[in-house]
Amino acid sequence: MQTMTLVDVSSISLVWPTKTLFIDLSFTVDTKDRVGILGINGSGKSTLLNVLAGTETADQGVIRRQADLAISFLSQRPELGEGTVSDAVGSDWQAKAAIDRLGLTEIANRNITSLSGGQQKRAALAMVLENSEAGLLILDEPTNHLDIEGIEYLERVIKDFAGGVVFVSHDRYLIDRVATKTIELSSHGAFVVEGGYQSHLLAKAERQAKSDRDEATRRVLERKELAWLQRGARARRRKSKSRLAIAQRTLTAPAREELRIGPLALNDFGQQRLGRQVIDLENVGAEVGGKKLFDNVNLLMSSMERLGVVGPNGVGKSTLLDVIAGRRIPTTGTVNYGSTIRIGYFDQTGQTLDQDASVEEIVAGPGSRLDHRQTNLLARFWFEPATHRAQVRTLSGGEQRRLQLMSVLASEPNVLLLDEPTNDLDLDTLRALEEWLDTFRGALVVVTHDRALLERTVEHVVALSEGGFRHLGAGEAVWEQVRSKSQPNNPRPKAKTKERQRSGRSLSTLRYELKEAEVEMEKLAFERDQCRALLTDDSITHSAQQEMYRSLASTLESLGNTEDRWLAISEEIEGRT
């Protein structure tokens, strides 16, 4: 089929009173294009989608749309009106398929006004995907609140759709599997890259490397300029005017401005010591509204637990976390808590945040003002001063989740419960959270359908489904096992206790040391690459070059030793599991 241009975006700009979102942005969307919009929270991703959909207007530039182009738009906060889910989505076979695949069958006849925010988002997505007249799909965070089957259904629809698709998503797998180009919105401008998420990362790394080289050149010129100034007036007079002009332009060029200064301050919080007894669930069951969600759940959590919970929507995953957190009393069974535990619960709905309170009141307390330490903490959590007096309800979804995360970590928990933590968080925040969880010395339970997060942060996965509660193990095979008809409630073997007695280090300690080695290898690999890059700089002196060679040799030796340690730990873990 011949490719046609659906939307031609030419030199559009949009500036708010306190922020520039994008300047002189140009790109096209053709049939079969799958365009992923990337950027940090507040960079203008949702606003760009609104402009493309025609619900907002750019300050400058032109957007040309194909004549009679029908657009189907999933906004970040959709409004569906009244009526039932079936009324909104439709009754043909495509609508019924969307309702089924997105986990809406049980609520198909419920009034939309009675649904939760997540259920309304799924209903709106079903309505958008079912629109057979659409030539362009515009989707804002379509994977939020979807289970694994729902995400895979969404992938198939996007791939098979005859028109064009523009979407914002934090799901790295989705971006890499379906995107044909990405557009990153940043403080340095907008960057269009052909390909999926990996292509985006490679292009971003190349831009960063070039920027680092330019900055290195700038520093060299500064040093030369200083040396020239120190040689005296007569030497200065002999300097070429053209060279002076070049140096002046380089030295007076504005330094790069970053919207976010420094890494996310996850390490600013302490952590209470956690004893050997953590949380023990014995034959636990729960009902909601007379409906049994699960029963006969047995879990014995260790002090270094890394547990993932998966399953379709509506089977009780959040309810299970409520039971573990002590927010809900189980219908059957018992929950026993260790005396040293301190639970931090990053729930899906943000119950801990008062929507009418200001950011300042959430951090400092009602009626109080921010002190210097709290102001610095907000800055290190990437909150601009303009947001400090803003009501929570006026923040973006990502900003609210980041504020909620800060509040949870401020309690210094040693047991973390994360319920769909990737919802509304941008990729920078997700990467920072994943890195921090690698070093978290406590127990972790994560409910998520984000495949990248699950693979990076958990060591064992359990599933809740209509068939019951069962242990799935770990690795990529989990995704197939989620749909399997395995017998429910097959507990993990208890032989691990004996293994721990025979070994000097427990499995949880070994796994922690393995992650430490992985973090160290990444750090050393970065240092190695930096050394190699600097060795290509013709401006460095011979003595500096020799020192760099010595540093590179030391780094390579450390990297080899760390890789050997990682391999030894991996073999020990493999031999005991």
69 vs 188, more confident: 69
Report yes or no on 242 lying in a domain.
Answer: no
Hey, what are 553's tokens?
């040799």
pLDDT at 295 over 80: yes
Exposed e or buried b per residue across 224-254, where buried means at least 16 C-beta atoms within 10 angstroms of its C-beta: ebeebeeeeeeeeeeeeeeeeeebeeeeeee
Residue 513's CATH number: 1.20.58
Angle between helices 507-535 and 542-576 (to 10 degrees): 160
pLDDT at 494 over 50: no
Report yes or no on 166 lying in a domain.
Answer: yes
- Domain limit, last residue, from 151, 177, 201: 201
Pair 442, 531 in one domain = no
User: Rg of the chain over CA atoms, in angstroms?
Assistant: 27
pLDDT tens for residues 213-246? 777 776 776 666 666 555 655 554 555 555 555 5
Weakest mean pLDDT among 19-28, 177-186, 412-421? 19-28
| Confidence class for position 447, pLDDT limits 50, 70, 90 | very high
Pair 103, 166 in one domain = yes
Amino acid 259: pLDDT: 55
pLDDT at 1 over 60: no
Beta strands (DSSP E) in 32-157 are 34-39, 60-65, 71-74, 136-140
Residue 184's CATH number: 3.40.50.300
Residue ranges making up the domain that contains 332: 266-492
pLDDT tens for residues 526-539? 888 787 777 677 67
Pair 434, 367 in one domain = yes
Pair 395, 369 in one domain = yes
Hey, what are 251's tokens?
């030295």
Report yes or no on 206 lying in a domain.
Answer: no
CA distance 462 to 442: 19
Amino acid 234: pLDDT: 52
pLDDT tens for residues 350-398? 767 888 889 999 888 888 888 888 888 888 888 888 889 888 888 877 8
Pair 541, 565 in one domain = yes
| Confidence class for position 102, pLDDT limits 50, 70, 90 | confident
Pair 392, 451 in one domain = yes
- Domain limit, last residue, from 168, 186, 201: 201
Report yes or no on 378 lying in a domain.
Answer: yes
pLDDT at 565 over 50: yes
Amino acid 558: pLDDT: 86
Pair 512, 387 in one domain = no
Pair 520, 421 in one domain = no
Report yes or no on 163 lying in a domain.
Answer: yes
Report yes or no on 296 lying in a domain.
Answer: yes
Amino acid 252: pLDDT: 52
Report yes or no on 457 lying in a domain.
Answer: yes
- Domain limit, last residue, from 435, 468, 492: 492
Pair 60, 134 in one domain = yes
283 vs 476, more confident: 283
Q: Which of 8-17, 215-224, 368-377, 556-565 has the highest mean pLDDT?
A: 8-17
| Confidence class for position 135, pLDDT limits 50, 70, 90 | very high
Mean pLDDT, range 253-282, rounded to an integer = 74
Amino acid 473: pLDDT: 67
Overall domain count for the chain: 3
327 vs 476, more confident: 327
Pair 556, 455 in one domain = no
Report yes or no on 471 lying in a domain.
Answer: yes
Amino acid 474: pLDDT: 60
Pair 466, 520 in one domain = no
Pair 165, 291 in one domain = no
pLDDT at 112 over 70: yes
